[in-house]
Amino acid sequence: MLPKNQRLRLSQDFTATVRSGARTGRRNVVLYARVRSEEPQGNNRFGFIVSKAVGNAVQRNLVRRRMRALAAQFTADATGLDVVLRALPGSADIDWDELSQQVRSGLGSVVPKAGAKREKGF
C-alpha cells in the first residue's frame, strides 16, 4: 500500500488531474498527470480508477493492486506530480508484464507532457 502522502484521496484532486492534466492512453490503461501548483517539489501522488466495466470485484481488486504496485516503483522518479491511472476493460485479461510495460510507457509519455503543460501556463 502506498503511504498516505502518496495517494490521491480527495475527489477534487482526481477531478483536477483528469480535467486539466496531460493525458496519454495505452491499450488497457489511460494515464493523467499534472504538476501540483501548491507544492511543486512534494511527493508524487497516485490515484486509481477501476470501473465495473473491468470485471467483477475480484478482477477489479487485482487490477488495482497491480497498478498500486507499479505506482510504488515510480514514487521517486519525479516530484510534485499528481497521477491518475484509469484501467480500461481489457486490463483484467492481461498479465503483469504487459500491464507493467503499458504503465511504464504511459508514464514515460505523460510526465514530460505534464511538465510542458505547466510551463505553458495551462
List the chain domain ranges: 4-120
The pTM of this model reads 0.90
pLDDT tens, residue by residue, 55-107: 999 999 999 999 999 998 887 666 789 999 999 999 999 999 999 999 999 99
Residue 119 has pLDDT above 70, yes or no: no
Residue with cell 507493467: 100
For 2-25, write each residue's pLDDT tens digit: 888 889 999 999 999 999 999 999
Query: For position 115, what pLDDT does the model report?
Result: 80
Strand-pair category, 22-25 with 29-35: antiparallel
Q: Which residue in 49, 30, 39 sits closest to 107, CA to CA?
A: 30
For position 33, what pLDDT does the model report? 95
Q: Which CATH number fits domain 4-120: 3.40.718.10, 1.25.40.10, 3.30.230.10, 3.90.470.10?
A: 3.30.230.10
Q: Which long-range contacts (CB under 8 A, 24 or more apart) does 12-15 make?
A: 13/45, 13/47, 13/82, 14/47, 14/49, 14/84
pLDDT band for 36, please (50, 70, 90 cuts).
Answer: confident
